[in-house]
Structure 1
Amino acid sequence: MSTVIAAERGREFWRGVLRAGALVATIGAVGALGACGERRADDGVEHPRPLGFAPTSGSIEGGRLVFVDVDDGQTVRGRATVACRFGSHAAIRAAYDRPSGRYACPAPAHERPEAVTLTIAAGGATVTMATPFVYVTSGMGSAPPVVVDVPALAKQVERVRADLPAGVRLCAVLKNGGPPAGFAEAISRVARIDYFAVPNLEDGIALRNAGITTPIMVLYMAEASHVPELVHYDLEPAAYSLEWVDQAERLLRSAARPLNVHLWIDTGLSREGVMPVEALPIARAVHASARLRLRGIATHFCCLGKGDLVPLRGDDVTNKTALQKHRFDEVVGAIRAKGIGRDALIHAGSSDALRFGLTPVYFDMMRIGTMLFENPSPEHMNYHWTTHILQTKTLPAGWCVDYDCKVALPHATK
């Protein structure tokens, strides 16, 4: 039994082209939102008025939600009439979104990639965004479809789970280059997964739109301006600075539920995470917030090896893995000593930790990516890409290959 998952058609191409410009635009627009979008309702306001929106800029596509912050005035919360107009498209009435406490506007489909300005109207007042959204489309290219052998994948997931001690949760990390929503749907259909981890907000939204209800963490940093989207889709981002926590707190002031966050500690990989000395102040800020919940404390190891078990058990900090664990244990201990995060999931181990049996770093949950997708045998792949060959030809001896003729064929080659 196989399932064919249609990969997204060229979307990543436009995202890649536009990402740098969108980031610059976002930086400028976040300040504008802070000025106009974070005012509290004025008791003297007689009519609803729009205050701001999130995300504040960047790429967008048909169906993507934009969340509008509205001062409802004397109306009952959620009953204001709010309209959104994307560029020259007809105005769309926004629906009240209880999880985020905002009004949600779905972006209409757009036939070509270009910049469009969003205008929001409520109670006779309007707000026009200072920096336009940039539409991304499927473009002209296409990615090859991915074919998944679902039973083989299910067996691999169960092999991984069988190696985990009782009580250790399994988090499936989906960043192997395939369409994450398709893999999540295939895995969830036949195996028990406690958590999913995806690289970015867009992948998390794709999983929710595919019907995945399992908890989802976003591995890499998401700007605080995306907090309304994160709480709407129930995605768990990283809290990576006091400023992020402060802005998230303001953006969640009308939300119906708290936002779960994970505190990542950089213990020696020099990638995601805050420095150990920064961790406790951020944990305190999250703990003090009525709208944020510290769901996890995490780190990532730089160089797990088969010889790490003895140093880990002996806390031999001359070993790099043992040194990272020592630093991580100190941070977790300091946070919990203040009565913070005692129910937070502690997670650090990845595929190599399981492969080498490094049980001291299993903690509460293992984040497994590579091992979930390993083939059961060289002859059988649990997933593969397919494509069509459109042209073959035979090149004569001496024929140049590519620019500058750095390679000339020694003989006729097909």
Structure 2
Amino acid sequence: MVVSYHRPTKVIVDLAAIKENVSIEVKKQAGKRDVFAVVKANGYGHGAVPAAKAALVGGASGFCVATLDEGIALRESGITAPIIVLGIVEVAWLPLILEYHLAVPVATLSWLEEAALYMATQALTGQLLLHLTVDTGMGRIGFRDEAEILVAIEKIKENVNWVFEGIFTHFATADEADQTYWHKQNQRFKKVVASLPEKPRYIHASNSATALWQEDCGNLVRLGIAMYGQNPSGGQLEAPYLLRPAMSLESALVQVKAVPAGEGIGYGKTYETPATEWVGTVPIGYADGFVRKMQGFKVLVEGQPCEIIGRICMDQLMIRLPQAYPVGTKVTFFGQNQDKEITVQEVADYLGTIHYEVICLLSDRIPREYLNTEGILS
């Protein structure tokens, strides 16, 4: 997708906030656990490479990504720290896994068998870093049979260049007030770890929510949404320390006009002016990830809440203004505007979803502008 630099719509990312959020968690761990920054999905929409570099300055010792390509992108940006790919990678991509020195998950015995055959037939050499993934109740990927895990370890040992580097699981309810299911999953994982004939370098289960509110598990924290300044629970639980949101979304008015009473606004005429109203047009739409269900939400102009009226178009939307404002006046969708603020959580609540989805949906068409880059990107 072409990045649209030549319009006022932009995502603004404060790298100092990311650095600070990571730094607080690193200090909290006090050397007991490594903190790996999770920068999958383009750093949750913030930009994977800038977010990763900010996290490094904040003290992160490694990274987690979801796909092989995300790991390669970090390596090609010059990052040499450990990188764990959390999603299953096909055996056919073993040459890339080895070339870029990425750790990958193992969820089945068949994957190990296929990998051994592929490496032998292709005469591949190099150190293969493997993390066994355990399904303790997420139902996503991972071993459920304890005996199979022990077999998997033996299969890894049989290959001289393979390294049993880690074992991990993922919690389904660490961000909820009711900890019953979290404790069930945690006990299952502890039981598996206790049964291991030898412990790998990394034992990890702590996501952001676990790090904030639960008992820390293993010796590695996978810090995700919290490093971007968002509360993993969406406000159900109070964060034990201040999380600084790193992202804001803004644009500007490109046209302002007085529309007489009885006129329709937008596709389907879902809004009709009850009286003469000042209507402003803003260049952002659902192609940018600002979805149609945001109709009726209020954005900020000069510190004033202004309702989105009519259906949101692919590339533009309209807002009702309290008065005529000059073209070029800033419009804030979330973030600070004068003495007022709209949070990402407010947007998520309006949509009936989670803040993860709101920020990850923001498309690559919107340019990212970075603040406080000194010592991070320079």
TM-score (norm 1): 0.56
**1:11-160 counterparts in 2 under 5 A?**
138=2, 146-160=11-25
The equivalent residue for 1:161 is: 26
Is the counterpart of residue 326 in structure 1 residue 187 in structure 2?
Answer: yes
SS of 1:197's equivalent in the other structure is strand
Distance in 2 of aligned mates of 1:238 and 1:215: 14
The equivalent residue for 2:158 is: 288
The equivalent residue for 2:60 is: 193
Aligned in 2, Cα 1:392/1:232: closer, same or farther, shift over 3 Å?
farther
Is the counterpart of residue 354 in structure 1 residue 354 in structure 2?
Answer: no
Distance in 2 of aligned mates of 1:141 and 1:274: 46
Equivalent of residue 202 in structure 2, options 339, 345, 369: 345
Aligned in 2, Cα 1:351/1:289: closer, same or farther, shift over 3 Å?
same
SS of 2:138's equivalent in the other structure is coil
Is the counterpart of residue 180 in structure 1 residue 48 in structure 2?
Answer: yes
Contact residue 260 and residue 293 of structure 1 kept, 8 A: yes
The equivalent residue for 1:405 is: 269
SS of 2:105's equivalent in the other structure is coil
SS of 1:295's equivalent in the other structure is strand
TM-score (norm 2): 0.61
SS of 1:371's equivalent in the other structure is helix
Q: Percent identity?
A: 26
Q: Which runs of 5+ in 2 are unaligned?
A: 231-240, 280-378
Is the counterpart of residue 363 in structure 1 residue 218 in structure 2?
Answer: yes
Contact residue 127 and residue 161 of structure 2 kept, 8 A: yes
Contact residue 280 and residue 331 of structure 1 kept, 8 A: no
Kindly provide the amino acid, as one letter, of the partner of residue 266 in structure 1. Answer: D
**Count of aligned pairs:** 261
Is the counterpart of residue 304 in structure 1 residue 174 in structure 2?
Answer: yes
Kindly provide the amino acid, as one letter, of the partner of residue 135 in structure 2. Answer: D
Contact residue 263 and residue 296 of structure 1 kept, 8 A: yes
C-alpha RMSD of matched pairs (Å): 3.0
Distance in 2 of aligned mates of 1:182 and 1:194: 15
Kindly provide the amino acid, as one letter, of the partner of residue 329 in structure 1. Answer: K
Aligned in 2, Cα 1:392/1:243: closer, same or farther, shift over 3 Å?
farther
Distance in 1 of aligned mates of 2:181 and 2:267: 45
Is the counterpart of residue 373 in structure 1 residue 228 in structure 2?
Answer: yes
Aligned in 2, Cα 1:183/1:270: closer, same or farther, shift over 3 Å?
same
SS of 2:106's equivalent in the other structure is coil
Distance in 2 of aligned mates of 1:410 and 1:229: 61
- Cα drift, residue 170 of structure 1: 0.4
Distance in 1 of aligned mates of 2:50 and 2:159: 35
- Cα drift, residue 240 of structure 1: 1.9
**1:190-229 counterparts in 2 under 5 A?**
190-229=57-96
Residues 1-49 of structure 1, C-alpha deviations (whole Å, 9 max, x = no match): xxxxxxxxx1xxxxxxxxxxxxxxxxxxxxxxxxxxxxxxxxxxxxxxx
Residues 336-394 of structure 1, C-alpha deviations (whole Å, 9 max, x = no match): 1xx34x233110011112221x23x331111111221117979x753445556544555
Distance in 1 of aligned mates of 2:25 and 2:265: 45
Aligned in 2, Cα 1:185/1:331: closer, same or farther, shift over 3 Å?
same
SS of 1:261's equivalent in the other structure is strand
- Cα drift, residue 397 of structure 1: 3.3
The equivalent residue for 1:49 is: none
Distance in 2 of aligned mates of 1:169 and 1:185: 16
SS of 2:206's equivalent in the other structure is coil
Residues 84-118 of structure 1, C-alpha deviations (whole Å, 9 max, x = no match): xxxxxxxxxxxxxxxxxxxxxxxxxxxxxxxxxxx
